[in-house]
Amino acid sequence: MGSTAIVWFRRDLRAHDHPALHRACAEFDRVVCAFVLDEALLDGRYRSPSRTRFMLGCLDALDGELRSRGGGLVVRRGRPERELTALAAEEGARAVLWSADVSPYARSRDARVGEALRTAGVEARPMPGTYVADDVTGPGTQRIFSPSFRAWAAAPRRPVHEAPARIGGPRTGMPEVRVDAGVPEPARAPGEPAARRALDAWLAGPVDGYRRAFETSVLSPYLRWGCVSARECEARAQEHGTPGARAWVRQLAWRDFYAQTLLTHPDNVFHEQQERMRALEYEDRPDRLAAWAEGRTGFPFVDAGMRQLAATGWMHNRARLVAASLLTKELQLDWRLGEAHFARLLLDGEPAQNNGNWQWIASVGTDPAPYFRRMYSPERHQERFDPQGEYVRRWIAELGTPDYPQPIVDRREGRARAKERYGRVIA
């Protein structure tokens, strides 16, 4: 009997450009592909029925990709350190390979898995594959994005791998997972085949309008679950070579930057990265939070975004920034409330990106521009990005009728109050 390895899938639900899978197929005679349904993943702090449904669809698609190559996906339910150790014993595996991640939970879980495997005499081999750059702790870990981006752009890159032609190994059915109803109109169909079609369509032309119009890829749910690799996205965008493609690559750099930030500042999951900003005061206004979450603020651009999120599990990035600015500045509410709401609904919600973006817009995290530069006007953003009102009319049927609410805050007064709050902390 030849040598056997296990590839433990997590946020890398694909066969193409998967370094751990590529290495396992090159070095071992037999590869067992596995996923562990961890209760902490299903019911933990970042629990999201919508995201769980999307994940299950991605797992089903991954199983199909593996079956087409002679293998399949083994799915277990339980604690990864126990299930992977047991699976290694059953299959006679000498090693377990996986794509490393950066969140505090992922690092703690991976440490437990590695210790359990080594105790059982099985090699534990974390690999790159979750981000564009192999080593997110390497050059460019500064607190400011621009110098980090320059170092990131100059860093070496690994090659983009084709999917293995053949992957042998066992397969099992999916354990029953009971999930509450998710968003009614998911923004994307799950899985690697859908992700690759979406990437092809984006690079076929729409990417050229990126940053010049309200154009966006809607690839973030696929990047969150690794249905397509960030490294392949970068390589193909660079090959495309247009200004829009280069601007999109810069957004992939932000993704790596926030991964660096969470890796080096794990307390960010609970606290403001800037220690002085932990003294910032917030108001306790459940009525305002509910109006914001339900898209009833009276600011059409914000409300359209919030309703898009509730319906599809996705929101345009520009609408995310404006909605978050309104919550944290004019409405005087804690950024963590917004982060939690997004985490419950976003198909692309991942701790590093969600936390990093919320701290950025709240002016309490990394890359700290003056707080008043991140007080975004909903009206001006609508004029710039949705001048014909197509976006807001799509999501707000009652716009222009007596049923649509008046603004819940006077923005001039809200801005003045925000300046007082931030000014006290900075002084």
| Cβ contact 44:52 at 8 Å | no
Does 350 map to a domain? yes
Whether residue 379 contacts residue 302, with contact meaning beta carbons closer than 8 Å, is answered with: no
CATH at 398: 1.10.579.10
Pair (416, 279) in one structural domain = yes
Model pLDDT for residues 211-229, shown as the tens digit of each residue: 777 889 999 999 999 999 9
Q: Is 324 found in the same domain as 362?
A: yes
Q: Are residues 327 and 226 in the same domain?
A: no
pLDDT in tens, 1-53: 579 999 999 999 999 999 999 999 999 999 999 999 998 878 878 889 999 99
DSSP state of 329: I
Q: Are 329 and 409 part of one and the same domain?
A: yes
Same structural domain for residues 300 and 253? no
Residue 27 to residue 280: CA distance in whole angstroms? 53
What's the domain count of the chain?
3
- Given 231, 264, 297, the domain boundary residue is 264
* pTM recorded for the entire structure: 0.96
- Of 57-66, 209-218, 380-389, the one with minimum mean pLDDT is 209-218
Same domain, 105 and 154: no
Is residue 93 within 8 Å of residue 32, measured between CB atoms? yes
pLDDT tens per residue across span 273-326? 999 999 999 999 999 999 999 999 999 999 999 999 999 999 999 999 999 999
pLDDT of residue 369: 79
Report whether pLDDT(140) > 50.
no
Residue 174 falls inside a structural domain: no
Q: Which of 129, 145, 170 is the last residue of a domain?
A: 129
Q: Which phi-psi region, left, alpha or beta, contains residue 140 (left: φ > 0; alpha: ψ -120 to 50)?
A: left
Provide the sign of the torsion angle of the four alpha carbons 55, 39, 124, 72, taken in this order. Answer: negative
**Residues 122 and 137 both lie in one domain:** no
Identity of the amino acid at 275: E
Looking at the fold, whether 235 and 309 belong to one and the same domain comes out as: no
Residue 78 has pLDDT above 50, yes or no: yes
> Which run of H or of E encompasses 73?
strand 73-77
Type and span of the H or E element at 102: none
Q: What are the DSSP E strand ranges found in 304-343? A: none
Mean pLDDT, rounded, of the chain: 94
Give the residue-averaged pLDDT of 199-207.
96
Domain assignment of residue 260, given as a range: 131-158+192-264
User: What is the rounded CA–CA span in Å between residue 318 and residue 341?
Assistant: 17
CA angle 133, 139, 141 (to 5 degrees): 95
Give pLDDT, residue 380.
96
Residues 196 and 289 in one domain: no
Q: Which residue has the tokens 């085949």?
A: 193
Give the range with max mean pLDDT: 148-162, 182-196, 367-381. Answer: 182-196
Return the closest-CA partner of residue 421 out of 325, 291, 330, 323. 330
Instruction: Identify residue 302 by its one-letter amino acid code.
Output: V
Query: What is the rounded distance in angstroms from the CA atom of residue 355 to the CA atom of residue 267?
Result: 11
